[in-house]
A and B are shown apart, each in its own frame.
Chain A
Amino acid sequence: MTQRKLIDHAVNEVLLAIADDELVCGHRDSEWCAFAPMIEEDVAFASIAQDEMGHARLLYQLLEARGQGSLDQLAFGRPVTGYKNAQLLERKNAGWAQAIARHLVYDLYDDLLTGRLLEACQLVEVADIARLVRREERYHLEHQETWINHLGHGGDGAKARLDTALGQVLAEAGGLFEDLPAHRQLAEAGLLPGVPSDLQIEFSQRLSALCLAAGLSEPAIPSGGLGGRLGQHTADMSECLATMTEVLGRAPGAIW
């Protein structure tokens, strides 16, 4: 492969990892629709789900423009080993504490990923999408912060549930910060100012500060849940993909 082709390939890999994160996260969010704690929150959380899937759509469209296949082929037409999302995001929904804890972790990571790495990307179309994504992620962060503040100060029971959920989430969150060879290639070529694992320290500092303000326990360092970026997934991902492609698979190539 020529250097040019290597870089193009690396860019595609990196974009795909972000798009898959957003898709799977938005999909799990959307499964909450109609079952959130209050009707008002149902509406709010469904908007966040649309934002996440909307980000995935933008990124897949960019990949489409880069000759990687159509939007829907990219989003729904790959074998499970082709998906590069972090395992944390594919895990089944398990209660509101998990929903908020996982989203907080993801939104904080996404804010750093877009703000520290992607907005500084030398490829202008990547930097543009990153700015747009980050603008909405900031609102998501506010949303999760409001929730952890209320649950953290909402009595011992709620605080304990959130502490436990955050512990479980962080024990699978290591995969978010996993570097692909593609990340390192882009960093070495000067197209990205760093790699995802560089974000971990700032992530933990900010998460600590948020937890402290919300009256929660000191959060653990993200660990575990590795391999997603390389296409290794849990059974939850196969289930997720089977659900997402149930109708599409009925008549491949048909227009829906």
Chain B
Amino acid sequence: MSHEPVEETVYEVFGQTDRGEPYVQLGSLPAADPEMGLMLARELFSRRGEVISLWLVERQEIHATERLDGDLIRGTDRTYRMGEGYRVTVEKRQRLRRVKP
């Protein structure tokens, strides 16, 4: 009998701590198939009942952006879509209050 090494599938494990909360990456594990992977993930990542639900995602099915090229960081001013871009609005209201008799 010969043993040809077959690599097991690596699954990334995501868990949800409560209803309505986002799924967060918890770790990963190698498993023969999703059935066995889920069975094992349950104890590996929720021994203290930390999560109410688990996702298993085959790692090779994850498509990621490059981290280094910085494309996700915007080059031009985007403060009009951020809260802090509107600090001036508060000041405008205060000025108007002062002007009003």
Contact = CB atoms under 8 A, between A and B. Distances in A.
A binds B: yes
Contacts of B40: 40-41, 43-44
A40 B43 CA distance: 8
Interface of B: 1, 29-32, 35-36, 39-40, 42-44, 47
Counting chain A CB atoms within 10 Å of each CB, the highest count among B32, B35, B36, B42 belongs to: B36
A149 B36 CA distance: 10
A139 B32 CA distance: 19
B39 A142 contact: yes
B43 A146 contact: no
28 contacts: A40-B29, A40-B30, A40-B31, A40-B40, A40-B44, A41-B40, A43-B40, A43-B43, A43-B44, A43-B47, A44-B39, A44-B40, A44-B42, A44-B43, A44-B44, A46-B43, A47-B43, A47-B47, A139-B42, A142-B39, A143-B39, A146-B35, A146-B36, A146-B39, A149-B35, A150-B32, A150-B36, A157-B1
Interface residues of A, number: 13
Interface in A140-165: 142-143, 146, 149-150, 157
Nearest to B33: A150
A44 B35 CA distance: 14
Interface of chain A: mostly helix, strand, loop or mixed: helix
A20 to B, nearest CB: 25
Counting chain B CB atoms within 10 Å of each CB, the highest count among A43, A47, A142, A150 belongs to: A43
Nearest to A46: B43
Contacts of B1: 157
A40 B11 CA distance: 13
Contacts of B30: 40
Nearest to B31: A40
A215 B6 CA distance: 22
Contacts of A44: 39-40, 42-44
A53 to B, nearest CB: 15
Contacts of A47: 43, 47
A150 B35 CA distance: 10
B26 to A, nearest CB: 13
Nearest to B29: A40
Contacts of A146: 35-36, 39
Contacts of B29: 40
Nearest to B41: A40
A44 B37 CA distance: 11
A132 B11 CA distance: 31
Contacts of A142: 39
Contacts of A43: 40, 43-44, 47
* A-B complex: 8 closest residue pairs judged by Cβ atoms: A40-B40, A44-B43, A47-B43, A43-B43, A146-B39, A43-B44, A44-B40, A40-B29
B36 to A, nearest CB: 6
A249 B31 CA distance: 43
